[in-house]
């Protein structure tokens, strides 16, 4: 009987500890996923202007550029589906807001590409680049969450 009681007490003491570790693990996963996402957005921003410049005269670059837009749409949608821990809600909501703008801009460019009505040179100086700068500007805040 005493052994049973000790096992129950031990289980009651250990189970909340497990959820504490899960919470810490989920928080670290969120920080890692968000950092990876922001780095992907930054890479996208760095590659797009050169691809757009090449797309003026190179059909393969146009295809690659279109694929980059499609890939970024998928990454934006995947990130927006992440559940943020409570301490990161505000930053996550800010990123989702920027992502809505970015998604609209990407869709606009894809529509122009599909209709053959795009000014390739305008991509490098577009509002999309400004939106991406806002997203990448949050990286330091995200890194601070992980500390």
Domain range holding 138? 28-80+88-145
Domain count for the chain: 1
Token pair listed for 128: 């999309």
- Tens digit of pLDDT for each residue in 75-111? 999 999 999 999 899 999 999 999 999 999 999 999 9
- Tens digit of pLDDT for each residue in 35-58? 999 999 999 999 998 888 888 888
* Residue 17, domain member (yes or no): no
What local confidence, expressed as pLDDT, does residue 85 receive?
Answer: 93
What local confidence, expressed as pLDDT, does residue 25 receive?
Answer: 52
- What's the whole-model pTM score? 0.76
The mean pLDDT of the chain is: 82
Please say whether the beta carbons of 143 and 36 come within 8 A: no
Instruction: State mean pLDDT over 111-118.
Output: 84
* Residue 33, domain member (yes or no): yes
CATH number of the structural domain spanning residue 114: 1.20.120
* Residue 130, domain member (yes or no): yes
3-state secondary structure 36-67: HHHHHHHHHHHHHHHHHHHHCCCHHHHHHHHH
* Residue 1, domain member (yes or no): no
């Amino acid at each position: 009987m005493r052994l049973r009681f000790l096992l129950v007490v031990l289980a009651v003491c250990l189970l909340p500890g497990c959820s504490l570790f899960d919470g810490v693990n989920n928080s670290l996963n969120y920080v890692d996923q968000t950092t990876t996402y922001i780095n992907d957005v930054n890479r996208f921003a760095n590659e797009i202007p050169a691809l757009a410049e090449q797309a003026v005269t190179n059909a393969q670059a146009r295809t690659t550029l279109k694929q980059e837009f499609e890939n970024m749409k998928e990454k934006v949608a995947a990130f927006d589906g992440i559940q943020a821990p409570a301490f990161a809600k505000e930053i996550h909501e800010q990123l989702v807001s920027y992502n809505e703008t970015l998604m609209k801009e990407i869709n606009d460019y894809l529509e122009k590409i599909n209709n053959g009505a795009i000014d390739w040179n305008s991509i490098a100086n577009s509002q999309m680049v400004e939106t991406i700068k806002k997203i990448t500007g949050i990286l330091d805040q995200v890194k601070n969450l992980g500390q």
